[in-house]
Each structure stands twice: as structure tokens, then as C-alpha cells.
Amino acid sequence: MLVLYSFLVSYAINSISIYLLFVFFLLDYKSAISNKIKIIKSNKLVLIYVLFFVFQFLGVLYSNNISFGLRRVSVMLPILIIPAVLFSEKLNYVKFAKTLSLLKYWIALVFIYHIIIHIFIDLRPLSNFVLYVLNDKLGISQFYVMFILLIPMLNCMSEIQAKNQISLNIVFLFLFLFFIILLANKTSFLALFSVILIKSIFLFKNKIGEYRILLTGFLFAVIIGLAFIPQIKKRIDVVLRTTDFDINTIITKNSVTFTNNTFEHRLLINYLSLDETKKHFPVGVGTGDFQDVLYEKYKKINFKRAILGKFNNHNQYLSEFLKTGVFGGVTFLLLIFMLLKSSSIKDHYHVYIIVCFAFVNLFESYLYRQHGVVIFSFIIPLFLVLDQCLKLKTETS
């Protein structure tokens, strides 16, 4: 509860609560701890999580920038311990269901509070809500906020499907949609669209009529939102009008001016990352050096926007191959594959969260910050365990 509830409000509390999970894991009878360790050893997902972290640590050993490498490893430490805790402990479904129900009220209150302060106290327009509230005040990127908004949205969908407080949950569903629209982020919209698509496949297959009507209306609202948000329209227009696919042309444009085409930026960063990955095959440049190597590449071609913004990979998959070569890269791909394989279209949460995570990692380096690590090491395993509990509950009832 502390991890989920502090995600939007306090970096410190969120970090402390993550490690408290490990403390509680140890505060148990010796026989119970022994049994949990046996469960951990037999769980393939836990072992792959651990292996992925081990490669991050080994990548520090052949890095020149040891201090940066150690900082990266310290940020990623939850990957080593938290999945093991979550997969070996027993989840109390009844209590956790109450936590999820309250979470939608909590997140709604946090957002509404900041919106009121932003508009009526700071006298700023909603169009710069992300810049002043999320980035400056809360210190969290909209890419991570999307996931904490996704959880209560899925809870509302689940409650509506179960015909519990339908009107209230419909109101909350559209409220969270409004919050996602407020993020004005193309990646978040694409992730939301994938959620709606998977949910549609499941519901149309099972012919749940009323819910299909609601889902159609929800999808229509998303499309309307995309069509009328000035920031999104502007970014899409920039991409459509200015995108080139010749890498030399992209390099030339970005070396002579500060361009705004984020799609081209990603193409260029991917090109530079792949070039360095091939040069340092098979072990990569090292956990401590991957950012330094990228900066040097930016300077070499005078990539103005990347030099100013100190861009990271903006692609977690390529980031892992650049850092630790085939060892870390293949392990990360295997872990994503195993998490996807463990999902089911009947899931209430896990399939949507892991599909979104697998997708957005193509466009962002999600494990560069603590919030992304919390999503990867805590939220994804937690909701996998929850859906397994729900399946067991359905089978026994």
C-alpha cells in the first residue's frame, strides 16, 4: 500500500517502503523463511530477475566511470530483491482488493489537488501542467505517471465488468482518462490504445454487450482527446511534416539546428547506440560508461538537441545491449518474454501492464529512474501474483 500510494507524492517514502518489504520478508519464523527461499529457488522469473541484476553489476567492473555505474546499480537494486519477496509471500486478496479500491480515490484526490493549485493559486494554464507540476514539483516524468493511472483504470473496468458500483466506476474511468489526456504524451496514448484493444478482444469474444458499448464510448473519447489536444496535434504535425528516413539527412539537420522532431531524435539515438554496441560486442561498453559513450557520439556529430538535453537511449532494449552486450540485453528480452508468456487475456491487470511496459520500452529508457524500476520490479510482479490469486479464486468458487 505504501509503495503504491507514495508513487505520486514522495520519492523518499516510495524508496523506503520498497526496502521495508524486504525487512518484513525477514521478520518471520525461520521455517517460513526457509520455505520462502525454496519457492524463490524454484521460480524461473525470480532467477532471471536476479541474473539481469548480476549482469548490471558485472558491467560496472569493466567501466571507466565506476561512480556512475555504482549509482545505476543502486537504483536497480530492487530488481534483485523485490520480485523474490513478492513471488514467495502470500497475498491477502481481500485486503489488497480494499487497497486497490481506495487507490482510485487517492490518485484522483492527488491529481485534483494539484490541478486546483496549478490553476487557481499558481494561475497557470492546464497546458503546462506536466512541466510545472509533474516535472518540477513532483519530479516524476509523465511516462511513469501513466502506469500509476493505468492501475485504477483497470480496477474500474474490472468493477464495471463485475457490475459493482457501475455508475461510480464509469465516472472514475473517464476521470482517469482525463488525467492521461492531461499528460499530453503520444506514448501514453498508444499504451492506452493497446489496453483498449486487448480488452475489446476479450469482451467481444465473450459477448458482454453493455461493456462493449462503454468500451466503444471510451475509445471514442480517446480519439476525440487525441484530435483536440493542441500539444499532441502539434507534435504529430511536426512528425508528419519534417520526418526523413535517410540517416545522413537526419544527422545534418540535427547538427545545424535544434530540431523538434522527437521521432527523428529517437531514430538517430538508436543508430548511434547500435553503432557503439557493434563496436563493443559482445560485452557492451559497461554499466558506468553507456551514457558517457552516448554523449561523446552526440558531440562527434554535433547533435545539438541531445547535447543540450543529455538524452539517454530512449529505448530500454538498446540500452541494455549497449551497457552489458548480449548478456544483459538477451536476459532483459528473455525476462520480458517470460512475463508476457505468464499473462493471459483473461487477466484483470497483468496482461495490460506488461504489454504496455514491453511496448513503451521501445521509446523510453524506463529503468533509468527509480519510478521505472519500481514499475518493473514491484508493480509488474505484484499484479501477476494478484491475477494468479484471482484465477485460483475463480477455479475454487
pLDDT tens for the 397 residues of the chain, in order: 999 999 999 889 999 999 999 999 999 999 999 999 999 999 999 999 999 999 999 999 999 999 999 999 999 999 999 999 999 999 988 899 999 999 999 999 999 999 999 999 999 998 889 889 998 888 898 889 999 999 999 999 888 888 889 899 989 988 998 898 888 777 887 788 778 777 777 766 666 665 666 666 666 666 665 555 666 666 666 666 777 888 999 999 999 999 888 889 999 999 999 999 999 999 999 999 999 999 999 999 999 999 998 999 999 999 999 999 999 999 999 999 999 999 988 899 999 999 999 999 999 999 999 999 999 999 999 999 999 988 887 777 6
Instruction: Residue 325: name the closest of 376, 278, 271, 272 by CA.
Output: 278
Look at residue 65 and tell me if it is in a domain.
yes
Q: Are 342 and 388 in contact (CB under 8 A)?
A: no
Is the residue at 75 inside a domain? yes
Q: Is 364 in contact with 314 (CB distance < 8 Å)?
A: yes
10 occurs within a structural domain: yes
331 in any annotated domain? yes
- CA–CA distance from 116 to each of 111, 179, 217, 244 (Å)? 9, 13, 28, 42
Residue 48's pLDDT is: 97
Q: Residue 237: what pLDDT?
A: 66
Identity at 90, one-letter amino acid code: K
Whether 181 is in a domain gets the answer no
- Specify the number of domains making up the chain: 1
Question: What is the distance between the alpha carbons of residues 125 and 142, in angstroms, rounded to a whole number?
Answer: 17
310 DSSP 8-state letter: T
**Is 368 a domain residue?**
yes
**Separation CA 150–CA 192 (nearest Å):** 8
Domain that holds residue 350: 1-89+246-397
Joined grid coordinates for residue 85: 519477496
Q: Is residue 151 part of a domain?
A: no
- The pTM of this model reads 0.91
Predicted local distance difference test score (pLDDT) of residue 329:
97
Local structure of 397: helix, strand or coil: coil
What does the angle CA 298 – CA 301 – CA 303 come to, to the nearest 5 degrees?
A: 50
Please report the pLDDT score of residue 178 as a whole number: 87
Quote the CA–CA distance of 266 and 118 in Å, as a whole number.
Answer: 31
Any residues with CB less than 8 A from the CB of 160 and at least 6 apart, and which?
A: 166, 169, 170, 173, 211, 214
Enumerate the H helices of 229-289 as residue ranges.
Answer: 230-242, 247-256, 262-279
Is 204 part of a structural domain of the chain? no
